[in-house]
Amino acid sequence: MTSGSSGPGASSGTTPGTDGGHPDVVVGVAGLGNLGLPVARRLACAGFEVLGFDVNPGARASAEGLPLAASVRELAEKADVVFILVSDGGQCRSVLSGPDGIASASRPPAAVVIMATVGPDALTELAAELRGRETDIIDAPVSGGSEAATDGSLSLMVGGSPEVIQRWRAPLAALGTVHVMGPLGAGQSAKVANQMVFFGTQAVLQEALALANASGVNQDALLAALSGGTADCWSVRHPGFLEATARAYDASGVDPSHRSWHKDLRTAVQATAARDLNAPVTDVVNRVFGDRIDKAARRPSSPECARSQQH
């Protein structure tokens, strides 16, 4: 792994981050699921040549019109930079160092961008899979979901050396706002912090709505009041988001352990424990909230869920 002069800008004198536009950069996207596919299409709309790959035949079939590689190895050999958008650290490791992974490529990509939420400690281990390769590493988990990926309004929490981030800023910026958090791994730490806040507010909101319903409070009026006062937050303005997301997961057969409210909260608990931090609220949310969302998704669709899907 390096932050040297590899990459498409090394020979041309132009880098993907210059004001004059990006050069002829081929972007590989490994993982064409709910987030990966709209990311790939957004990059293509921004003018990048995009090549995709997914081990799931259904995901490949959904990528109609997108050029596909036959393996991660082929993706790595043909792309200048590979964006990894898979479910967890295990899948990310397979992409990096599996039998047909990036590390097996005869010509590795100039850069790898790990967009999967794997946590800062796993990121360090994953980056080591490419040690000794002339490959830049960036961690850039995102927030905003598939709709934000489609319209290029994701919030990217980016970690890496300033030189490397600048070298690959153009394809990152095509997806949304680039927030540079610090060195490699800082992006993952920032995403974990984001998930702690997000799922914490979602959990408390559901309890508040339950109290309101049991007390005969008009829920639409309550949400309007909350959004106009000190309790305003993204969760209040999208009260049914997670329930709608859980329904989509159920429809596509996503294993509960790979759902963000389970996976990311486990990562948050592990990250705080590894740093001897006391995080009792996150621990409680991790233990009770995910199962509650999974069960709620199996009930008849609620008005809040329907309203959330309209945003």
- Res 13: pLDDT: 35
As its CATH architecture, domain 189-310 has Orthogonal Bundle (1.10)
Residue extent(s) of CATH 1.10.1040.10 domains in the chain:
189-310
Tell me the pTM: 0.85
193-213 pLDDT, tens digit per residue, is 999 999 999 999 999 999 999
Active site residue 295: no
- Res 34: pLDDT: 87
As its CATH architecture, domain 9-183 has 3-Layer(aba) Sandwich (3.40)
In tens digits, the chain (311 residues) has pLDDT values of 443 434 444 333 334 543 334 558 999 999 999 899 999 999 999 999 999 999 999 999 999 999 999 999 999 999 999 999 998 999 999 999 999 999 999 999 999 999 999 999 999 999 998 887 889 999 999 999 889 999 999 999 999 999 999 999 999 999 999 999 999 999 999 999 999 999 999 999 999 999 999 999 999 999 999 999 999 999 999 998 888 888 888 887 788 888 889 999 999 999 999 999 999 999 999 999 888 888 877 766 544 444 444 33
What DSSP letter does each residue of the chain carry, written as one string?
A: ---SS-STHHHHS--TTSTT---S-EEEEE--STTHHHHHHHHHHTT-EEEEE-S-HHHHHH-TTS-B-SSHHHHHHH-SEEEE--SSHHHHHHHHHSTTSGGG-SS--SEEEE-S---HHHHHHHHHTTTTSS-EEEE--EESHHHHHHHT-EEEEEES-HHHHHHTHHHHHTTEEEEEEESTTHHHHHHHHHHHHHHHHHHHHHHHHHHHHHTT--HHHHHHHHHTSTT--HHHHSTTHHHHHHHHHHHHT--GGGSHHHHHHHHHHHHHHHTT---HHHHHHHHHHHHHHHHHTTSSPPHHHHHHHH-
**Of 78, 191, 263, 295, which residue is the catalytic one?**
191
Residue extent(s) of CATH 3.40.50.720 domains in the chain:
9-183
151-161 pLDDT, tens digit per residue, is 999 999 999 99
